[in-house]
Amino acid sequence: MVSSKRSALFFLIFIVLILAVFSLFYARRQPDNQTEPVTATAFKLNTVVTITLYDSEDQELLDQAMELCDHYEKIFSRTLPESELYRLNAGTLPQEDGAFIISDTLAELISEGLRYSELSGGAFDISIGPVSSLWDFTSGSSVIPDEADVKDALKLVDYRQVFLDGNRIRFGMEGMQLDLGAIAKGYIADRIKEFLVSEGVKSAILDLGGNILCIGERPDDTPFRIGIQRPFAQRSETVSIAQIDDKSVVSSGIYERYFEKNGILYHHILNPRTGFPYENDLVSVTIISDRSADGDGLSTSCFALGLEQGMELINSLPDVYAAFITADGELHFSDGMAETFSLKTTETSE
C-alpha cells in the first residue's frame, strides 16, 4: 500500500515537471505581447472579405476596415446606381469643357487601369464596360450574349480613347464605359493595409475574395504560408505553398466566375478584341508582388497575354513573380519565384 502511494506520488511529480518544462518551452517561443488573433468576415464587394489581426484585439479596427470596403464600393462599383463610376458611365457626373469631373480616388484607379491596359498592349482593357455589361456570370442564368450585340459593343472598346488629365476625364467615343472590376479589389486591399498600418498593426492578413495581402509576418517572426489554389477545387485545396511576408498574392482564373452551356465553359476574363472569354490554354495566373493593385492588374494582364507573352512580361518587371497553371495542370514559375518564396508543391489540401 505504501509502495503504491509512493509510486503514485513519484508519477504525479513527474507529470508536474513535464508540464513545467513544456510551459517554459512554450513561453520562450511566444512573443511577450502575443495576443489571440481576431477576425471579421462579411460579404462585401460582391465577394467574401475576411480580415485577421494577429497582434491586436481591437474589434473597432476590424469594423473600420470593413467600412472602407463599403466606402470604395460606392466609388468603383459598375452596377450600384449611386456609385461614382456608375454615374460616370451613365454620363450624369458634372462636366466642365466637355470633360467629366471625378474624385481623386476614382482618377487614381483609372490611371492604374490605363497603365496596365498600355502595358498589356490592350489585352487587358478597362474600357470593356459595354461588353462586360452583356455578360452575367453571377446569377446562374447562363445566357450567352447575342453576337450582334457583342459586335456593336466592341466598337466602343479602346482604352486609347480614354483621356485622363488629373480629375478630368473624357471619352473619344460617345457611349464608352469603364469596368474597373479587375483591379479594384487590389487597390482597396492596399488602402485597407495603409489604414491598419497607420493604426499600429504589424501582423495581419487581408483576404478580399482570394486577393491575399499580408501585413508583416506572423507574431513569432515566421512567414505566412499562403496557398496557390487548385483550379475548380475548394479554397482550402492548393497546388503549391509559398512563404510570404508583407506581400500580396492575387490569382485570376477561369474557375472564379463562369458557367457552362452546351459543353462549353464561359468564364469572366473577356477578350476585348472578340468580346468573348479568352481561349489560350491557361487556367489561372497567380502574382506575388508588394502591392495588391499590381497583383490584380498583372494577373489579369498576364492571363490575357497567355503563357509565353505573360511570362515574358513578368520576367521583365522588378520585384514581381508569377505562377501560371495550364489546362494540363502543369505549374510554370517565373524566374526566381520558387526559390524566393520557398515554394512547395502539394498533393493534398492544406
The answer to whether position 124 is within a domain reads: no
State residue 256's pLDDT score: 83
CATH of the domain at 324: 3.10.520.10
The answer to whether position 150 is within a domain reads: no
The answer to whether position 307 is within a domain reads: yes
Contact present, 248 and 288 (Cβ < 8 Å) = yes
State residue 243's pLDDT score: 94
Query: What would the pLDDT profile of 102-159 be if each residue is shown by its tens digit?
Result: 999 999 999 999 999 999 999 999 999 999 999 999 888 999 999 999 999 999 999 9
The answer to whether position 90 is within a domain reads: no
State residue 34's pLDDT score: 60
Domain that holds residue 321: 38-55+203-345
State residue 138's pLDDT score: 86
pLDDT < 50 regions, the chain: 1-31, 348-350
The answer to whether position 85 is within a domain reads: no
The answer to whether position 134 is within a domain reads: no
State residue 16's pLDDT score: 33
Amino acid, res. 296: D
The answer to whether position 283 is within a domain reads: yes
The answer to whether position 106 is within a domain reads: no
Count of structural domains within the chain:
1
**What's the chain's length in residues?**
350
